[in-house]
Amino acid sequence: KQEVTQIPAALSVPEGENLVLNCSFTDSAIYNLQWFRQDPGKGLTSLLLIQSSQREQTSGRLNASLDKSSGRSTLYIAASQPGDSATYLCAVSAGFGNEKLTFGTGTRLTIIP
C-alpha cells in the first residue's frame, strides 16, 4: 500500500526567505505527483503536477522536483510572502487512467511578516 509522508508537519519562516517542503512515498511505481495548496475553509488548489518521466516543474516562484527512484519530491518556494501561508499537500497517482490519489498529511506553512 502506498504511503505518503510530509515532514515537517508545520513550518514558520520570515517573509522573504526561500523554503523547501518535503514529500516522500513508499512505492516508486507512480504515474505522477502533484502538489496542492489548501486554505482554511476552502478546497484544494493544484499548484504543480509532475509526470513520472519528469524531474521538475516550475510555476512562478514555485519549483517542484521529483526523484522517483528514491521516492522523494520537494516543493521550493522562493521569496516567500504572507499570502503563501497555507497547508501544502502532496499526492501521488497510481497509474495512467487511474487518477486515484494518495495524499500526504500536509505541511502547514506560516510566513511571518
Partner 1 sequence: DADVTQTPRNRITKTGKRIMLECSQTKGHDRMYWYRQDPGLGLQLIYYSFDVKDINKGEISDGYSVSRQAQAKFSLSLESAIPNQTALYFCATSGGRGGETQYFGPGTRLLVL
Binding stretches for partner 1 (CB under 8 A):
4, 31-32, 34, 36, 41-46, 49, 51, 89, 91, 96-97, 99-101, 103-106
| Nearest distance in Å: CB 85, partner 1 | 18
User: 15 or 49, CB closer to partner 1?
Assistant: 49
Whether the Cβ atoms of residue 106 and residue 88 lie closer than 8 Å to each other:
yes
Pick the closest to residue 50 from 84, 27, 73 (CA basis). Answer: 73
Whole-angstrom distance, CA of residue 68 vs CA of residue 19: 21
User: 17 or 99, CB closer to partner 1?
Assistant: 99
| Nearest distance in Å: CB 49, partner 1 | 5
User: 6 or 85, CB closer to partner 1?
Assistant: 6
Pick the closest to residue 92 from 55, 49, 53, 57 (CA basis). Answer: 49
Range 65-68, long-range pairs (CB < 8 A, 24+ positions): 66/33, 68/28, 68/30
User: 18 or 110, CB closer to partner 1?
Assistant: 110
| Nearest distance in Å: CB 53, partner 1 | 10
